[in-house]
Amino acid sequence: MGQWMDGYLAKLERLLQENLAGGGPERQQAQQALGKLSVRERIGHLTDPGSFEELGALVRDGRPPFDGRERPSPGDGVVMGFANIQGRPTAVYALDFSVMSGSLGDQAVWKLNDLTKMAGQMGVPLVGLIDSAGERISLKDGDSGLNGLGELLKNTCRVSGIIPRITLLLGPCTGVLAFLPVLSDFLIMGRETAFLWLGGEKSTKDGGRAGFHMERSGQCDLIAESDEAAIEQTKRLLTYIPPNCWENPTWVDTGDDPERREEALLEVMPDDPKFTYDIHEVIEKIVDRGEFLEFKEDFANHLVIGFGRFGGLTAGIVANNPDELSGILEPDSSDKYDRFMNFLDAFNLPLVTLVDTTAFPPGDRWERQGVIRHGAKLLHSYAHLTCPKITIVLRRSYGGANIVLGCSRMFPDFVYTWPTAEFAPTGPETVVQAVFHKELARAKEQGNFDQVYQRYLGVLQEQFSVLNLAKTWTSYYTTHEVIDPRDTRPRIARALRLTSQKREELPLKKRSIKPA
């Protein structure tokens, strides 16, 4: 090798060593004191050993700093490239808080722009690890950073539905940059370290923290107790979803017989319909190995969403939880359902719906919150689903929920019901009060109210029962088959196999317009 090459290689090696050092030992130690991994450690835990190929390592911030103080800017604060995660090619980027507090500089944003476009073109998932104070302030060309950020947000939206986008928020993220993690398909936040805030003063002590965005805003999908836990959640999540919208998720040999009958399902539902039960008991008994990855667990928890497998096949599960607010569909749970079903459809993942709900709640409180328009979003989205759709009605399917949960002529692929199922425009108790109010008033005067009420209620429950309605195949309320609850898992597994090659086309149009 000639001496002239030695000089170039020495300079390259020096720049690469600067990159590995990040913002220097003191800044790295400050991160460790907060219980955080360094940016290189995060990427090392996330990716397969030796698979990370970095891009943009020599990039530096060439603009003068706002306060005149020069600071090291290896990689302009972003480490990014391509790697394998459990053997799957993935685009990965991480903002390094040790470099100018992870602030997003002019060069860094263009790096992320290119990586986002490349991930979309190559059809690989995009995983981002964010730990940033927000956009970087500069004296010169101050608008170029915002121009780059605007294009990054546009490109992030453009690859939506083409590739899965997962963000791990492991530190702060403020200002306009706060839109980036929320635009992703799944947001995982560190319980003690993550902070997401658009701007202005904090309204509460915990505003912006992971718990706030899980329980209040609904913008967080999973909470992790540490950086390592967030990374493990990401790896688990990636096993359920395909790398892009043109491929199917990988079949996983879970060792759980798809034809397994579950005797314990006979004991889940209480004899008296006035009593509730936890839908998690049903889910855990029917999915492979009882493994269920739930999202937004503490937001609108009367609706449960997440991933499970049936005979090794991935499915998204949406289930009313009677144990919480009778499993109603109010604005928050409607939004939770709407976003998840659209993700499933984008990546052709089956939707399995477990139904037991008293439907949309009536009353002034809910009308003020826009319960109708939120419900209309569900109607619009479900009407456009082309992914496999399998519905299991466990008990109640009342009112508009009957439609948006795929129980009727919205054309789910299969509708199965337990013999306990009831289909009605509203609860039979309400119908008794509305239709027989005169008879009930007379019975109250005569002292036999309970007897008369129960007689009318029994008549209506018999009329609304699926065991009666299923006798008429063309009825508005219908089912493909009433099944023994113990056969729920085998029925779902068979339906997933039958619909795995399903093709359903929508009318040709530029786009549909969702209700506001």
d(CA 389, CA 495): 9
Q: What pLDDT does 333 receive?
A: 94
The full set of domains in the chain, from first to last, is 10-238 (3.90.226.10), 263-421+465-498 (3.90.226.10), 427-464 (no CATH)
Q: What pLDDT does 237 receive?
A: 98
DSSP 471: T
Dump pLDDT digits (tens) for 100-148: 888 888 889 999 999 999 999 999 999 999 999 888 866 555 555 678 8
Cα maximum dimension of the chain: 111
d(CA 338, CA 214): 17
Q: For 239-318, where are the alpha helices, taking DSSP H only?
A: 279-286
Q: What pLDDT does 378 receive?
A: 93
Any residues with CB less than 8 A from the CB of 312 and at least 6 apart, and which?
A: 251, 252, 253, 254, 258, 288
d(CA 66, CA 47): 36
Is the model's pLDDT at 169 over the cut of 90? yes
Q: What pLDDT does 468 receive?
A: 84
Q: Which residue has the higher pLDDT, 234 or 27?
A: 234
Count the neighbouring beta carbons within 10 Å of the beta carbon of residue 26: 8
What angle, rounded to 10 degrees, do the helices at 227-238 and 39-46 form?
Answer: 30
**Where do the DSSP E strands lie in 74-113?**
78-85, 88-95
Dump pLDDT digits (tens) for 151-163: 999 999 999 999 9
Cα 151 from chain centroid?
25
Q: Sign of the C-alpha dihedral, residues 35, 43, 18, 61? A: negative
- Lowest average pLDDT, out of 346-360, 374-388, 429-443, goes to 429-443
d(CA 121, CA 99): 30
Exposure class string for 183-222: b at 16+ Cβ within 10 A, else e: ebbbbbbbeebbbbbeeeeeeeeeebbbebbbbbebbbbb
First to last CA, the chain: 66
d(CA 213, CA 142): 31
Which residues partner with 169 through β-bridges?
130, 189
Highest mean pLDDT (candidates 199-213, 241-255, 389-403): 241-255
Q: What pLDDT does 202 receive?
A: 61
Q: Which residue has the higher pLDDT, 25 or 318?
A: 318
d(CA 165, CA 155): 12
Is the model's pLDDT at 302 over the cut of 70? yes
Band of residue 23 on the pLDDT scale cut at 50, 70, 90: confident
Is the model's pLDDT at 230 over the cut of 90? yes
What percent of the chain has pLDDT above 90?
Answer: 59
DSSP 290: G
d(CA 19, CA 57): 7
Band of residue 363 on the pLDDT scale cut at 50, 70, 90: confident
Angle at 421 between CA 430 and CA 418, to 5 degrees: 170
Angle at 44 between CA 80 and CA 127, to 5 degrees: 45
Alpha carbon distances (Å) from 258 to 268, 280, 462, 515: 21, 19, 34, 39
Is the model's pLDDT at 290 over the cut of 80? yes
Band of residue 476 on the pLDDT scale cut at 50, 70, 90: low
d(CA 365, CA 9): 69
Band of residue 261 on the pLDDT scale cut at 50, 70, 90: very high
Is the model's pLDDT at 1 over the cut of 60? no
Is the model's pLDDT at 52 over the cut of 90? yes
CB 82 within 8 A of CB 90: yes
Written as six digits, the tokens of 97 are 């808080």
Alpha carbon distances (Å) from 168 to 135, 186, 309, 349, 433: 18, 9, 24, 23, 51
Is the model's pLDDT at 286 over the cut of 80? yes
The mean pLDDT value of the chain amounts to 89
Nearest alpha carbon to residue 332 among 155, 411, 431, 214: 214
Which residues partner with 424 through β-bridges?
398
SS3 178: helix
Count the neighbouring beta carbons within 10 Å of the beta carbon of residue 87: 8
CB 235 within 8 A of CB 47: no
Q: What pLDDT does 67 receive?
A: 65
Q: For 360-487, where are the alpha helices, taking DSSP H only?
A: 364-368, 371-383, 401-404, 428-435, 437-446, 449-464, 466-469
Which residues partner with 130 through β-bridges?
169
Q: Please give the average per-residue pLDDT across 257-279, as a whole number.
A: 92
- Lowest average pLDDT, out of 69-73, 258-262, 357-361, 364-368, goes to 69-73
Q: What pLDDT does 464 receive?
A: 82
Q: What pLDDT does 271 receive?
A: 85
SS3 310: strand
* Three-state DSSP string of 51-75: CCEEECCCCCCCCCECCCCCCCCHH
Residues listed for the chain: 516
Q: What pLDDT does 260 receive?
A: 97
Band of residue 477 on the pLDDT scale cut at 50, 70, 90: low
Any residues with CB less than 8 A from the CB of 70 and at least 6 apart, and which?
A: none
d(CA 469, CA 472): 6
Q: What pLDDT does 2 receive?
A: 62
Dump pLDDT digits (tens) for 379-418: 999 999 999 999 999 998 888 888 899 887 788 999 999 9
**What's the one-letter identity of residue 388?**
P
- CB-count burial class (<10 Å; 0-12, 13-18, 19+) for 304: buried
By 3-state DSSP, what share of the chain in percent is helix, strand and coil, each rounded to 5?
40, 20, 40
Written as six digits, the tokens of 116 are 């986002």
Is the model's pLDDT at 69 over the cut of 80? no
Is the model's pLDDT at 203 over the cut of 60? no
Left, alpha or beta for 161 (phi > 0: left; psi -120 to 50: alpha)?
left
Q: What pLDDT does 459 receive?
A: 78
Q: What pLDDT does 115 receive?
A: 97
